[in-house]
Amino acid sequence: MKAAVWHGTKDVRIEQVDVREVQPGEVKVKVEWAGICGSDLHAYHHGMGVQVGGPHPLTGEQAPLTLGHEFAGTIAELGEGVSQYQVGDRVAIEPLIYCGECKYCREGHYNLCEKFGFIGLNANGGFAEYVVVKKHMLHKLPDQVTLEEGALIEPTAVAFQAVRSSKIKVGDNVAVFGAGPIGLLTILCAKAAGAAQIIAVDISPERLEKAKEVGATAVINAAEADTVKEIMALTGDGVAISYEAAGAQPTFTNAVMALKKGGECMVIAAFAKPAQLDMTSLLVKEINVTASLAYRHVFPEVISLVEQGALDVKKVITKKIKLDQIVEDGLELLVQDKSQAKILVQIQS
């Protein structure tokens, strides 16, 4: 089968690879659509996150590995012991790898597993014509949810988990720092949660336009304006919640400074290097800074909200490409063209 295989930094190749045999409790999925994530960009451009230096303790796999963890498709083969699905079922994949035995897994916090990983980074992933996954990773899609939308369930779950884990209340004013795919999906989720004002902050005019399209009530270009001053002018005393979806020191600093007293900064983005924090700013306002890692137990709710139209995830799609184009029109383009949000890859010819 054809797959996009990571061999090293700036070295992703479209190759013919074998699909492994389906074991008991596993399912082979014919992948239809897959999204390019920020972690895929980090893997391609910086070599970050991919399993190297030895096999993953749960999957036994290591690079070279097929990338891709945001994907949906149809079931092609069922392993022994899989009875709740049928060949042909349309499914989205929840790609988290976890042991199910450690303290955090036993508490239901499997996203904090001591052996945590991702399909597509610590095992072969979804930028391939077929992928074999554990049956618990499958979530059946209703007829009203397309496979393109199915490929967006995973990143939407990241945003949904962050918004649900925050202290947001109906009528709150919030700010989203970073209008990339996760930031845009966070705007959608905050809107669904009942936020009154949703202020989007970015340095890309194109992304800010997209933010307005998905539901931001105001936008601030941080390259042209004093972000904190603008937010104070819009809200009077600051926002109740700021969502940090950029992963950079300036946005983190502004996300904290833009909060009203008793506010909360929810960190969603991964930071490439340690961030600094002025503890006095937290102290005098009694501010909370917290974080959300991936998701747990939310895929069914996200799928239901997409089905109902409460989360119109199609709005974040800016481009669709073929698997053969994934490097130049995907992994390279996303860092060059800031008008792009979510690029979907059509896997089947």
pLDDT, tens only, 233-266: 999 999 999 999 999 999 999 999 999 999 999 9
**How far is CA 312 from its chain centroid?**
16
Q: Is residue 43 part of a domain?
A: yes
Please tell me whether the peptide bond between 95 and the residue prior to it is cis, using omega within 30 degrees of 0: no
Q: Which domain holds residue 184?
A: 167-291
Q: Is residue 161 part of a domain?
A: no
pLDDT in tens, 330-346: 999 999 998 899 999 99
Residues 226 and 96 in one domain: no
Q: Is residue 176 part of a domain?
A: yes
Percentage of the chain beyond pLDDT 70 is 100
Residues 259 and 329 in one domain: no
Residues 120 and 192 in one domain: no
Q: Is residue 313 part of a domain?
A: yes
Residues 249 and 278 in one domain: yes
Residues 314 and 266 in one domain: no
207 pLDDT more than 80: yes
pLDDT in tens, 103-120: 999 999 999 999 999 999
CA distance 20 to 109: 29
pTM metric for this prediction: 0.97
Q: Give how far Cα 343 sits from Cα of 57, 152, 320, Å.
A: 31, 10, 6
Q: What is the CATH number of the domain that holds 248?
A: 3.40.50.720
Q: Which long-range contacts (CB under 8 A, 24 or more apart) does 56-60 make?
A: 56/97, 56/115, 56/117, 56/122, 56/123, 57/115, 58/97, 58/98, 58/99, 58/115, 58/117, 58/122, 59/97, 59/117, 59/122, 59/123
Domain count, the chain: 2
DSSP, collapsed to helix, strand or coil, labels residue 70 as strand
- The amino acid occupying position 178 is G
Q: Is residue 160 part of a domain?
A: no
pLDDT in tens, 217-236: 999 999 999 999 999 999 99
* CA dihedral sign of residues 199, 200, 201, 203: negative
